């Protein structure tokens, strides 16, 4: 039982990070129908930048965090302008491939600049675990979960309550109608890519202390996507729930099956759920036009 | 240059290329020869990617996974079971094909989003499994493969190049044969317009899975040959960047072109070797190249060349050649014979019984019944939102009613899928023109005849004489149809180049190619000017006479509907309002009210 | 003249959908644009709001050329459109949809006053303000679409087939609202297939056929014109 709750907790930790990355995926996908295969690399970039500011430049953690996220957001917007907007009328397949290309370039560029050296993010919190109700936690995992949930909530508030956020949602739901209401759709796309990239970068920064930082760590990002599909892409809350669920399932599988098979379990779960419910666990039938 | 001469020149050029490649085995120093062999092996994989992405229009982000399966299967069969290398390679290819087929299944219902995820996941999972399965082949450490043998002689170092080139040439030929057959046209049709492909009788499920299977087969063979070439297999050779490299090779050369696959494969194997010292740059440059290609050169080098020097489409050239071989005047063909008259059912050809369907909470059709006999033209009209399109979709199989049934030639087809209805004798055109724009005019018509052609994929691949005869006949039939609608001079032009009015005519010719008993015309006159409208009316009358078929016509263009229809049915708000001759309908008060509004404020 | 189109052409690829359309809408009037499906009515209004680029840019609003104004700036000029299939934001609430209509306005109190105005016109929207737009009935969605377009307090309202798919009673209601809006000073260009209803409301009508204005005139005259019937139902 203790083991189970342990697994669930670490699953939630991972799941909360997946939720951040997955949220970025979903925001981008709902507006542009593009699977952003560079999302994981953006996450890695966030971790690397934070490492650089915190470790090499010895900036305070919060400053490193914010700077990394903002830089990645700007980078995402720049990518939209340079690489994706020229392809706005191309078939979706082309755009997907473009994100694949960009992802590969980011990963390779980091490898060129930093080499394949592995790095560890210095610890920022005391490492002694403590117990709550029989479940062992570390301050790190707790703060990660808390921060991730905080960020997700902050984003949801932004998305649902602010004028700009509603403009983004409207653009995702109906581009022409949004234009008629006065929304500058092109600028909104830049914003959407910026937000999606920023969310991924934030996840990367939060993830950094948990794992080894390498140029290849971006592959974790795809889990965020899987989790979002699992929960149902058409609804943001569903996607978030799916990500948390995926974290738990993966960890359970990792413990009870084999740790190296986590990725396989993730994909297998995806295929299983999709064959039963093509719109995800909480998704709705597409095509409900008003 | 006549097309036959052009084709013969191409054949000679290809033979020279193969001869040179073979000669390289004895002319090149060891390392460049190795790179060249590697390029040829990669070309085989890229051919596979091309078939899936370029021809069938699907997306494959995990193609290296199929190569991995082929490589490991080959290695294991040789090492553990002492099988001949060559048999092992073939079996490896078949195993990969099986996986490809299975992967094609999710591609059926799901859009690019899911297919990209599934193929990506596949590529990833294969590598993970191989890296962790120590018992199978040492996991990440890989496994040595003994050099391939032929008739007891070891084929290394130089001689292995020869069978590699020969195998590649054979597979190239196979691909060419497939592309140049009705199956290749079916793939291209799916890529160009899935909806229209279904309407032409193409079974999307079947063809998508077959595309993946064949593409995977090629990758599997490539992997097996790679295992023999490097005498080693390990998972690192098949990671995600390798899949992307294959895709980039395909796009560089020109997706949708076999020559492009060869060009891209060659260039992207050789160039990185020239940058030997900068191995880390390879991934970056590949990514950059892919991005640049996608933005500026989406049709690749071959596409750019075609723009400058005109179309070199293999299929088109072939159609033209066949015309020349057929000897001149195709219009001299005997007039088309009507469809076999069914003696079986003496009842009406089409019977719609109390059909109803809802869309998003709205009752689009309620209790609609109609009948259509042989050789009749029935018009369906009604104001905007009346349900005409819904009725059309229900009859043609694009939507399933929740009430009532549809009988066609005495058979209940209510649940029959759209592509199967074409096989039974229904054909349709589209309101918004759904041609296969990149295909030639004559090939569009030949796709229309898909359901009447019988040759299997294997027969096409092997280019047996019965398949060739069937293809020749399909060209003749198509040309005859084009002549009937007046488009024969444009036969070899790409469909997107036609004027709008001609595009509408092409749609009609394409629909006729399946020799339907019932022709469904969806707003055939939308966008036509007066002169074109008049020609269309005359054409449809001629069609009814010559081909002895029935026509169901939806339209807003009253001159067309009123001028052609024997009978007219009026729909409004999903229900049947009136039925009668054109004259009766025009003076029917209810119909007038439906279109123009009631006389008094109700 | 509040709105003027002078020989406007529009193309879909190679197909000429509008072949030189000219029309005028007097301020404070209701003008009706009629014709069967495919005649070009929707293309005309989409061209006015810039969702479709016209080749000839002679579109004037309040004597100012607007053919080159980017579509998202049109609403700021005082032109609002209710699209043919309503085009709501189905996953957003009623009030969110309405507030999107006021996206170009930054004064919160102004937006609140506009909301009150809309709730006054359409009480059912007030009742369902938190509901998902996609869950409303057809008639309610139409009201929401109209309400959304009014939130920017337009001078000119383009209504593209507002009664499409609605039951006769709702059709009456919608037309009554159109009349009320006009009474409150809004100029209206009404696209309808249902010629008689529209002409009862409008003072002037244009009949589009195959991308051209085939007939035009004062409503009373058009209503009695046999040519109108022929245009819709073909020659007898």
State the pLDDT at residue A59. 84
From chain A, the residues in CB contact with B59 under 8 A are: 93, 96-97
How far apart (Å, rounded) are the C-alpha atoms in residues B560 and A143? Answer: 72
> Between chain A and chain C, how many beta carbons pairs sit less than 8 Å apart?
81
Sheet holding C30-34, edge to edge: C79-82, C156-160, C187-192, C30-34, C204-209, C212-218
User: Among candidates B189, B180, B186, which has minimal Cα distance to B315?
Assistant: B180
- Could you tell me the two tokens for C120? 């006054």
Kindly state whether residues B119 and B185 are assigned to the same domain. Answer: yes
B306, burial (CB in 10 Å: exposed 0-12, middle 13-18, buried 19+): middle
State the pLDDT at residue C116. 94
Q: pLDDT for A203-254, tens place per residue?
A: 999 888 888 888 888 888 888 888 888 888 777 888 889 999 998 888 888 7
- Whether B452 has its CB under 8 Å from any CB of chain C: the answer is no
B429, burial (CB in 10 Å: exposed 0-12, middle 13-18, buried 19+): buried
State the pLDDT at residue B602. 37
- Whether B2 has its CB under 8 Å from any CB of chain C: the answer is no
Q: HEC profile for B455-478?
A: CCHHHHHHCCHHHHHHHHHHHHHH
Contact B112 A96 (CB under 8 A): yes
Nearest CB partner across the interface for A288, out of C71, C80, C134: C134
From chain A, the residues in CB contact with C69 under 8 A are: none
Residue A264 is assigned to a structural domain of this protein = no
Least CA distance to B285: which residue of chain A?
Answer: A105
Beta carbons of B51 and B214 less than 8 angstroms apart = yes
**What's chain C's average pLDDT?**
88
User: Among candidates A164, A224, A211, which has minimal Cα distance to A192?
Assistant: A164
pTM for the model stands at: 0.85
How far apart (Å, rounded) are the C-alpha atoms in residues B475 and B472? Answer: 5
Of the two residues B154 and B165, the one the predictor is more confident about is: B165
What is the DSSP annotation of B5-58? HHHHHHHHHHHHHHHHHHHHHHHS-HHHHHHHHHHHHHHHHHHHHIIIIIIS--
Residue C56 has pLDDT above 70, yes or no: no
Sign of CA dihedral B324, B326, B327, B332: negative
How far apart (Å, rounded) are the C-alpha atoms in residues C68 and C56? Answer: 10
- Whether A168 has its CB under 8 Å from any CB of chain C: the answer is no
From chain A, the residues in CB contact with C152 under 8 A are: 181-182
From chain B, the residues in CB contact with C36 under 8 A are: 383-384, 556, 558, 595
Average pLDDT over residues A171-196: 93
- Domain region containing B542: 347-424+517-602
- Could you tell me the two tokens for A145? 């979960």
Q: pLDDT for B429-463, tens place per residue?
A: 998 889 998 889 999 999 999 999 988 988 888 88
- Could you tell me the two tokens for A200? 């991924």
Q: pLDDT for B174-209, tens place per residue?
A: 998 898 899 999 999 998 898 999 999 999 889 988
What is the DSSP annotation of B230-288? HTEE-GGGGSHHHHHHHHHHHHHH-TT-HHHHHHHHHHHHHHHHHTTT-HHHHHHHHHH
Report percent pLDDT > 70 for chain B.
90
Nearest CB partner across the interface for A288, out of C70, C74, C90: C90
- Domain termination residue (choose one: B283, B298, B313): B298
Contact C229 B592 (CB under 8 A): yes
Residue B473 is assigned to a structural domain of this protein = no
How far apart (Å, rounded) are the C-alpha atoms in residues A145 and A153? Answer: 12
User: Among candidates C42, C66, C57, C56, which has minimal Cα distance to C208?
Assistant: C42
Kindly state whether residues B602 and B530 are assigned to the same domain. Answer: yes
Nearest CB partner across the interface for A98, out of B53, B129, B291: B291
Q: pLDDT for B402-431, tens place per residue?
A: 999 999 988 899 999 999 999 999 999 998
From chain A, the residues in CB contact with C73 under 8 A are: 182
Least CA distance to C81: which residue of chain A?
Answer: A180
User: Among candidates B292, B294, B242, B305, which has minimal Cα distance to B268?
Assistant: B242
| pLDDT band of C23, cuts 50, 70, 90 | very high
Q: pLDDT for B243-258, tens place per residue?
A: 988 988 888 888 777 8
Beta carbons of C100 and C92 less than 8 angstroms apart = yes
> How many domains, in total, are found in chain A?
1
State the pLDDT at residue C79. 95
Q: pLDDT for C202-230, tens place per residue?
A: 999 998 888 889 889 998 888 888 777 77
Residue C172 has pLDDT above 90, yes or no: no
Average pLDDT over residues C73-81: 94
Average pLDDT over residues B41-57: 88
Mutation target vs C (from A163, A170, A181; most C CBs, 10 A cutoff):
A181
CA A246 to chain centre: 13
Sorted by sequence, the CB contacts under 8 Å of residue B250 that are 6+ apart come out as B46, B49, B50, B53, B54, B260, B261, B264, B300
In sequence order, what E strands does B403-517 have? Answer: 403-408, 411-412, 426-428
Contact C72 A179 (CB under 8 A): yes
Cβ count within 10 A of residue C175: 20
In angstroms, the separation between the Cα of residue C89 and the nearest Cα of chain B is 15
**What's chain A's average pLDDT?**
85
State the pLDDT at residue C198. 87
Q: pLDDT for B313-350, tens place per residue?
A: 444 445 555 555 555 444 444 445 545 444 445 678 89
Helix or strand run (H / E) with residue C21 = strand C15-25
Residue A284 is assigned to a structural domain of this protein = no
State the pLDDT at residue B333. 46
Indicate the DSSP class of residue B61. S
Kindly state whether residues B226 and B369 are assigned to the same domain. Answer: no
From chain A, the residues in CB contact with C94 under 8 A are: none
In angstroms, the separation between the Cα of residue B299 and the nearest Cα of chain A is 11
Beta carbons of B316 and A116 less than 8 angstroms apart = no
Q: What is the dihedral of CA B109, B110, B111, B117, to 10 degrees?
A: -150
State the pLDDT at residue A128. 75
Of the two residues B589 and A136, the one the predictor is more confident about is: B589
- Whether A163 has its CB under 8 Å from any CB of chain C: the answer is yes
From chain B, the residues in CB contact with A103 under 8 A are: 287
Least CA distance to A95: which residue of chain B?
Answer: B294
Q: pLDDT for B125-136, tens place per residue?
A: 899 888 888 777
The CATH number that applies at residue B117 is 1.10.3470
CA B15 to chain centre: 29
Nearest CB partner across the interface for C88, out of A177, A179, A185: A177
In angstroms, the separation between the Cα of residue A250 and the nearest Cα of chain B is 14
Residue B363 is assigned to a structural domain of this protein = yes
From chain B, the residues in CB contact with A94 under 8 A are: 294, 298
N-term to C-term CA, chain A: 49
**What's chain B's average pLDDT?**
84
Q: pLDDT for A273-287, tens place per residue?
A: 777 777 777 766 544
- Domain region containing A36: 2-219
Q: pLDDT for B493-518, tens place per residue?
A: 889 888 888 999 999 999 999 999 99
Contact B562 C234 (CB under 8 A): yes
Biggest alpha carbon–alpha carbon distance for chain A: 57
User: Among candidates B499, B473, B432, B38, which has minimal Cα distance to B229?
Assistant: B38
How far apart (Å, rounded) are the C-alpha atoms in residues A200 and A19? Answer: 10
How far apart (Å, rounded) are the C-alpha atoms in residues B418 and B91? Answer: 36
State the pLDDT at residue B278. 67
* Location of structure tokens 């003496």: B346
3-state secondary structure of B150: strand
For C9, phi then psi, to 5°, come to -115, 150
N-term to C-term CA, chain B: 72
User: Among candidates A195, A222, A193, A188, which has minimal Cα distance to A82?
Assistant: A193
3-state secondary structure of A182: coil
State the pLDDT at residue B274. 74
- Whether C214 has its CB under 8 Å from any CB of chain B: the answer is no
- Whether A185 has its CB under 8 Å from any CB of chain C: the answer is yes
Residue B139 has pLDDT above 90, yes or no: no
User: Among candidates C173, C87, C193, C175, which has minimal Cα distance to C133?
Assistant: C87
Of the two residues A42 and A266, the one the predictor is more confident about is: A42
In angstroms, the separation between the Cα of residue C109 and the nearest Cα of chain A is 15
From chain C, the residues in CB contact with A182 under 8 A are: 72-73, 75-76, 103-104, 152
State the pLDDT at residue B341. 46
Beta carbons of C157 and C150 less than 8 angstroms apart = yes
Helix or strand run (H / E) with residue A44 = helix A39-51
Residue B462 is assigned to a structural domain of this protein = no
Write down the domain spans for chain C: 1-78+155-236, 88-153
Residue A152 is assigned to a structural domain of this protein = yes
Residue C96 has pLDDT above 70, yes or no: yes
Cβ count within 10 A of residue B23: 12
Helix axes B63-81, B204-230, angle to 10 degrees: 50
Beta carbons of A200 and A72 less than 8 angstroms apart = yes
Residue B304 is assigned to a structural domain of this protein = no
Half-sphere exposure of A84 toward its Cβ, with a 13 Å CA cutoff? 29
- Could you tell me the two tokens for B450? 């898909």
State the pLDDT at residue A61. 87
Least CA distance to A183: which residue of chain C?
Answer: C72
Mutation target vs B (from A22, A31, A35, A220; most B CBs, 10 A cutoff):
A35
How far apart (Å, rounded) are the C-alpha atoms in residues B565 and B392? Answer: 16
Enumerate neighbours of C (3 or more CB pairs within 8 A): A, B
Residue A48 is assigned to a structural domain of this protein = yes
Cβ count within 10 A of residue C229: 16
Sheet holding B575-580, edge to edge: B426-428, B518-522, B550-554, B377-381, B567-572, B575-580
Q: pLDDT for B66-113, tens place per residue?
A: 999 999 999 999 988 888 899 999 999 999 999 999 888 876 666 777
The CATH number that applies at residue B533 is 3.40.50.300
State the pLDDT at residue B136. 77
Contact C233 B500 (CB under 8 A): no
Of the two residues B307 and B356, the one the predictor is more confident about is: B356
| pLDDT band of C196, cuts 50, 70, 90 | confident
Residue B151 is assigned to a structural domain of this protein = yes
- Whether C163 has its CB under 8 Å from any CB of chain A: the answer is no
Fold for the domain defined by C1-78+155-236: Rossmann fold (3.40.50)
How far apart (Å, rounded) are the C-alpha atoms in residues A29 and A244? Answer: 19
Sorted by sequence, the CB contacts under 8 Å of residue B260 that are 6+ apart come out as B50, B54, B250, B252, B253, B254, B300, B301, B302, B303
In angstroms, the separation between the Cα of residue B503 and the nearest Cα of chain C is 11
Enumerate neighbours of A (3 or more CB pairs within 8 A): B, C
Kindly state whether residues B554 and B408 are assigned to the same domain. Answer: yes
Nearest CB partner across the interface for B587, out of C38, C168, C236: C236
> Between chain A and chain B, how many beta carbons pairs sit less than 8 Å apart?
115
Kindly state whether residues B536 and B402 are assigned to the same domain. Answer: yes
| pLDDT band of A1, cuts 50, 70, 90 | low
Q: pLDDT for A88-142, tens place per residue?
A: 888 888 888 899 999 999 999 998 888 777 888 887 777 677 777 767 777 888 8
State the pLDDT at residue C119. 94
- Could you tell me the two tokens for A108? 């390779």
> Between chain B and chain C, how many beta carbons pairs sit less than 8 Å apart?
73
In angstroms, the separation between the Cα of residue C13 and the nearest Cα of chain A is 14
> How many domains, in total, are found in chain B?
2
């Amino acid at each position: 039982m203790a083991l189970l709750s342990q697994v669930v907790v670490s699953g939630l930790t991972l799941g909360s990070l997946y939720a951040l990355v997955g949220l970025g995926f979903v925001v981008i996908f709902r507006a542009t129908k593009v699977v952003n295969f560079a999302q994981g690399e953006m996450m890695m970039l966030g971790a690397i930048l934070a490492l650089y500011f915190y470790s090499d430049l010895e900036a305070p953690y919060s400053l490193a965090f914010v700077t990394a996220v903002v830089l990645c957001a700007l980078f995402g917007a720049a990518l939209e302008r340079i690489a994706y907007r020229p392809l706005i009328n191309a078939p979706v397949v082309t755009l997907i491939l473009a994100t694949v290309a960009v992802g590969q370039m980011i990963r390779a560029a980091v490898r060129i600049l930093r080499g394949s050296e592995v790095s560890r993010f210095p610890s920022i919190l005391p490492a002694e675990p403590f117990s709550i109700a029989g479940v062992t936690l570390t301050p790190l995992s707790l703060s990660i979960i808390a921060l991730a949930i905080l960020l997700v909530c902050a984003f949801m508030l932004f998305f649902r309550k602010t004028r700009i956020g509603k403009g983004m949602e409207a653009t995702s739901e109906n581009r022409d109608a949004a234009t008629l209401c006065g929304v500058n759709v092109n600028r909104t796309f830049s914003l959407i890519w910026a937000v999606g990239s920023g969310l991924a970068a934030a996840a990367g920064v939060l993830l950094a202390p948990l794992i080894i930082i390498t140029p290849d760590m971006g592959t974790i990002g795809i889990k965020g996507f899987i989790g979002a599909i699992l929960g149902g892409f058409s609804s943001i809350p569903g996607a978030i729930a799916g990500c948390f669920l995926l974290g738990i399932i993966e960890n359970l599988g990792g413990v009870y099956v084999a740790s190296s098979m986590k990725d396989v379990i993730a994909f297998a779960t995806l295929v299983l759920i999709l064959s039963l419910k093509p719109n995800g666990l909480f998704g709705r039938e597409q095509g409900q036009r008003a | 240059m006549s097309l036959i001469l052009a084709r013969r020149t191409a054949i000679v050029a290809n033979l020279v290329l193969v001869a040179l490649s073979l000669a390289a085995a004895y002319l090149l120093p060891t390392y460049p020869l190795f790179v060249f062999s590697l390029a040829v092996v990669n070309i085989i994989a890229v051919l596979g990617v091309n078939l899936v992405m370029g021809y069938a229009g699907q997306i494959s982000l995990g193609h290296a996974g199929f190569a991995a399966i082929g490589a490991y299967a080959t290695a294991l069969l040789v090492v553990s079971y002492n099988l001949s290398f060559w048999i092992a390679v073939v079996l490896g290819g078949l195993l990969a094909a099986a996986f490809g087929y299975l992967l094609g299944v999710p591609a059926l219902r799901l859009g690019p989003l899911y297919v990209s995820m599934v193929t990506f996941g596949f590529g990833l999972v294969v590598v993970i499994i191989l890296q962790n399965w120590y018992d199978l082949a040492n996991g990440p450490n890989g496994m040595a493969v003994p050099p391939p043998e032929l008739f007891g002689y070891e084929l290394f170092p130089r001689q292995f190049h020869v069978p590699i080139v020969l195998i590649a040439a054979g597979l190239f030929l196979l691909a060419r044969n497939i592309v140049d057959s009705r199956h290749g046209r079916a793939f291209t049709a799916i890529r160009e317009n899935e909806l229209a492909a279904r309407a032409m009788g193409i079974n999307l499920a079947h063809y998508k899975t077959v595309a993946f299977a064949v593409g995977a087969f090629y990758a599997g063979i490539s992997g097996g040959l790679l295992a023999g070439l490097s005498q080693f297999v390990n998972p690192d050779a098949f990671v995600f960047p390798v899949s992307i490299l294959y895709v980039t090779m395909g796009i560089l050369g020109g997706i949708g072109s076999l020559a492009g696959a060869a060009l891209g494969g060659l260039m992207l194997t050789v160039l990185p070797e020239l940058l030997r010292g900068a191995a880390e740059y390879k991934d970056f440059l590949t990514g950059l190249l892919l991005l640049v290609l996608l933005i500026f050169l989406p049709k690749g080098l071959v596409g750019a060349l075609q723009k400058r020097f005109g179309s070199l489409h293999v299929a088109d050239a072939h159609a033209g050649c066949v015309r020349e071989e057929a000897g001149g005047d195709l219009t001299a063909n005997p007039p088309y014979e009507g469809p076999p008259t069914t003696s079986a059912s003496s009842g009406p050809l089409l019977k719609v019984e109390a059909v109803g369907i809802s869309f998003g909470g709205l009752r689009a059709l309620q209790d609609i019944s109609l009948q259509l006999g042989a050789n009749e033209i029935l018009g369906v009209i009604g104001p905007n939102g009346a349900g005409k399109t819904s009725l059309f979709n229900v009859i043609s199989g694009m939507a399933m009613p929740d009430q009532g049934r549809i009988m066609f030639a005495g058979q209940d087809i209510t649940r029959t899928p759209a592509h199967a209805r074409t096989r039974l004798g229904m054909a349709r055109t589209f309101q918004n023109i759904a041609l296969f724009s990149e295909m030639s005019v004559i090939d569009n018509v030949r796709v229309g005849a898909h359901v009447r052609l019988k040759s299997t994929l294997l027969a096409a691949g092997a280019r047996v004489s019965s398949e060739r005869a069937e293809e020749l006949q399909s060209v003749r039939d198509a040309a005859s149809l084009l002549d009937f609608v007046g488009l024969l001079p444009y036969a070899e032009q790409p469909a997107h180049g036609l004027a709008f009015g001609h595009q509408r005519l092409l749609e009609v010719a394409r629909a006729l190619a399946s020799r339907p008993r019932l022709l469904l015309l969806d707003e055939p006159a939308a966008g036509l000017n007066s002169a074109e409208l008049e020609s269309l009316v005359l054409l449809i009358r001629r069609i009814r006479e010559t081909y002895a078929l029935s026509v169901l016509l939806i339209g807003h263009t009253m001159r067309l509907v009123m001028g052609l229809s024997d009978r007219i049915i009026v729909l409004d708000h999903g229900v049947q309002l009136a039925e009668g001759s054109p004259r009766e309908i025009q003076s029917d008060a209810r119909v007038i009210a439906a279109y123009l509004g009631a006389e008094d404020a109700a | 003249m509040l709105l003027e189109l002078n020989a406007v052409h529009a193309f879909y690829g190679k197909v000429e959908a509008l072949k030189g359309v000219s029309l005028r809408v007097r301020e404070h009037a209701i003008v009706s644009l009629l014709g069967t499906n495919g005649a070009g009515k929707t293309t005309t209004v989409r061209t006015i709001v810039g969702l479709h680029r016209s080749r000839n840019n002679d579109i004037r609003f309040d004597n100012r050329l607007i053919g080159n104004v980017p579509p998202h700036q049109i609403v700021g000029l005082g032109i609002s459109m209710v699209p043919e299939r309503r085009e709501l934001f189905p996953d957003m609430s009623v009030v969110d949809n309405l507030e999107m209509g006021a996206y170009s306005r930054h004064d919160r109190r102004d937006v609140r006053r506009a909301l009150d105005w809309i709730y006054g016109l359409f009480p059912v929207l007030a009742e369902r303000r938190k509901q998902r737009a996609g869950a409303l009935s057809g008639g309610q969605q139409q009201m929401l679409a109209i309400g959304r377009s009014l939130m920017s307090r337009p001078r000119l309202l383009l209504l593209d087939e507002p009664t499409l798919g609605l039951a006769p009673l709702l059709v009456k209601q919608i037309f009554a609202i159109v009349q009320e809006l006009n009474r409150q000073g809004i100029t209206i260009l009404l696209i309808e297939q249902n010629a008689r209803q529209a002409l009862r409301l409008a003072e002037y009508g244009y009949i589009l056929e195959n991308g051209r204005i085939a007939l035009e005139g004062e409503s009373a005259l058009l209503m009695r014109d046999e040519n109108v019937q022929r245009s819709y139902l073909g020659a007898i």
